[in-house]
Structure 1
Amino acid sequence: MSANYWESSQYKHWLFTKEELASMRQKLESENAETVQMFTLPEWRHLYIYFNQQIARLGKRLKIRQQAIATAQVYIKRFYIHIEIRRTNPYLVIATAVYLACKIEECPQHIRLIVSEARSLWQDSVSLDTSRLGECEFHLISEMGSHLIIHQPYRTLTSLQSDIRLSGEDFAFAWSIINDSYMTDLPLMFPPHIVALAAILLTLVMKPNMLPGSVPGGGMAGGSSSSSPAIPNAAAASAAAAAALAGTQNRGDKPMDPKVGRVQKFVVWLADSDVDVAALADCTQEILSFSAVQEQYNDKLTREQISRFVKARGLDK
């Protein structure tokens, strides 16, 4: 394992631009044009939402920690930029990715338990034959070039919590943004620390005046307030984030006002660091644009379209 991200296979082999990912997927569809035309599927981001939900369901039954869940999601993304989805049984791939991720993240699950729980969730799509999962595991590892160690944004978020003075509420909010990032291409497009910093930036922008220990929506911890936080719309959050990042270039050597807000303090921290601000801006915009994708997601349609090609092609046998 490479403890240094910059020396890892993730950095050397598994970072792509948006255009490169689109080209790879288009190539797969072109090579499988007849099948693609026969079985219509939603856009990839909607498939990611569905996969995320199914992995979460399986993870909950197995009581798997988030690190392994996230690793499984990255495995699936890597696999499906090399293999056209209609050639596979996504439910078997999900179960296999979770099984493999648990081994790599040192929380192993017995193969029979994985298969049994997967069968309980997706009765019509997963066989009880454990050899099928074993074969899929070999295929998954092969397509990933045996690059199985995944560096996650959670580590950066945790290490910066005290430095940036994130409250418990802030930390949980940023953590949830990172969780959502696995429904996008961000793990294939940006280093994990950039995703973590984007989550922190959005947390501070969306909740700029929250004091440490406060409860979203007003009041202090332990109080009676239970209202939801006032989250600005994506356009407002985008503008605020862009303005904050612009401040990293305009700060110069000006002394910091002791009364300055949390967003400005974060901007100062960024300006004094070696962080790629342009990449951070792009990552932030990708996260914000995902809100529109979620609004258009149709769970029933996605499930039916996946089941249709799995059944029609006999991939559930």
Structure 2
Amino acid sequence: MSLFLHLYVITPPTLSGIITSMFSTSSQLKYWTFNGETELAELRKEANQRFIQEHESSISIEKQAKYFLTPGEEKLLIRHFEFILREFCVRFLPPMPKYVLGTALTYFKRFYVHNSVMDYHPRDIMLTSVYLASKVEEFNVNISQFVGNLKGDRDKFASIILGFELLLMDKLHYHLTVHNPFRPLEGFFIDLKTKFKGVEDVEKLRKGAEEFLDKSLATDACLLFSPSQLALAAVLSSGTKESMNLESYVTGVLLKGANEDEMRKTVYQIKRIRYIVKNQEPLQRDQIGHIQKKLEQCRNQENNPESEIYKRKLDEMFEEEEELQSKKRARMEEAQKKEEQLLLGK
């Protein structure tokens, strides 16, 4: 395990108050940091196959390949909605802090590690991820303000978001605290200013480092590396652009006292991050329309807020809840009646 997995990270405020923790003991590292892109691809393929196996009985074998989405098509669609999510957050009013965007994207990416877009439409999960991240990170906007940033039927959007909020939390196993790389990045800037004399103007590194982290959000980096590793990769990438030699900072300050094996592992992780961020594939917009049409025919209608099946299921749920409440009221009235009779000596 790299030394930088143990760097101290302070999370932004959460619903339960200000929480500080070590990344090395977090749920993010234990449950949501994966070994590599191969493992992620395999897990997503399993989610795809699980959905197909559950719904293939009504589709002939000959038609299945054309009817259901492939793992590759799911990946393209997820990346498309990640882009929309980022654009929505950037244009949000009031202005949204970057760590809210980072948390929202992390929720969205985590959700589709174990779930198929055929089961839950990414548009619904995208909006719910941003709304939940806003609440968790205490970016205080109510549901009316939130949907005010959307065009179209805002009441429908509000209903969808509130309807999927508990589901999203459940699928994330209530691991809602996200360690973003933005705080460690500030830590590195402070460290460079106070402990390293090799750079005259540390702030020159800021623009390039922030751009690197913005680009990393379009990759699976947050599922593969620690926030401090991402922040360090951003600083070093910016240093390269600005022709600043930060090698002595890494070896003489950050890794001072580390053994050769530790240094090698850290350098390898940083190289992996920089390669992934630099070599990400462009969005294939020309294929999205076809994939979305295909999704509309194969998606799970039980999880489609606009389908009759979903509406009927929702009505049944409310009827059951009302029936339970009626029974509870009846029991309370009966208990109160008995208590009054005892007091009156009847």
Is the TM value for this pair above 0.5? yes
Question: For residues 248-281 of structure 1, what are the alpha-carbon distances to aligned partners after superposition, in whole Å with 9 as ceiling and x for unaligned?
Answer: xxxxxxxxxxxxx434333433431657652552
The CA distance in 1 between the partners of 2:163 and 2:48, in whole Å, is: 24
Alignment of 1:255-266 (within 5 A): 261-266=245-250
Counterpart among 12, 30, 52 of residue 12 in structure 1: 30
Question: Are the aligned partners of 1:5 and 1:151 in contact in 2 as well (CA < 8 Å)?
Answer: yes
Alignment of 1:166-205 (within 5 A): 167-205=202-240
Q: Which protein is bigger by CA-based radius of gyration?
A: 2
The residue number in structure 1 matching 2:47 is 28
Task: Name the SS for the 2:156 alignment partner.
Answer: coil
The CA distance in 2 between the partners of 1:306 and 1:168, in whole Å, is: 44
Structure 1 position 45, deviation (Å): 6.4
Alignment of 1:33-182 (within 5 A): 33=52, 38=67, 39-40=69-70, 42=72, 46-47=76-77, 49-59=79-89, 60-62=91-93, 63-118=95-150, 120=151, 123=152, 128=156, 130-165=158-193, 167-182=202-217
Question: Are the aligned partners of 2:83 and 2:218 in contact in 1 as well (CA < 8 Å)?
Answer: no
The CA distance in 2 between the partners of 1:140 and 1:162, in whole Å, is: 36
Task: Name the SS for the 1:3 alignment partner.
Answer: strand
The CA distance in 1 between the partners of 2:296 and 2:206, in whole Å, is: 43
| Structure 1 residues 4 and 151, CA gap change in structure 2 (3 angstroms) | same
CA RMSD in angstroms comes to: 2.8
Structure 1 position 133, deviation (Å): 1.3
| Structure 1 residues 130 and 113, CA gap change in structure 2 (3 angstroms) | same
The TM-score with structure 1 as length reference comes to 0.72
Structure 2 unaligned spans of 5+: 1-18, 57-63, 194-200, 307-346
The CA distance in 1 between the partners of 2:294 and 2:182, in whole Å, is: 36
The TM-score with structure 2 as length reference comes to 0.66
The residue number in structure 2 matching 1:255 is none
Question: For residues 281-314 of structure 1, what are the alpha-carbon distances to aligned partners after superposition, in whole Å with 9 as ceiling and x for unaligned?
Answer: 23433432443333x4223433x14532453346
Question: Are the aligned partners of 2:47 and 2:115 in contact in 1 as well (CA < 8 Å)?
Answer: yes
Question: Are the aligned partners of 1:199 and 1:284 in contact in 2 as well (CA < 8 Å)?
Answer: no
The CA distance in 2 between the partners of 1:14 and 1:173, in whole Å, is: 27
The CA distance in 1 between the partners of 2:115 and 2:125, in whole Å, is: 11
Structure 1 unaligned spans of 5+: 210-260
Identity of aligned residues (%): 23
The residue number in structure 2 matching 1:293 is 280
Amino acid in structure 1 at the alignment position of 2:21: A
Please state which structure has a larger fraction of its residues in helix.
2
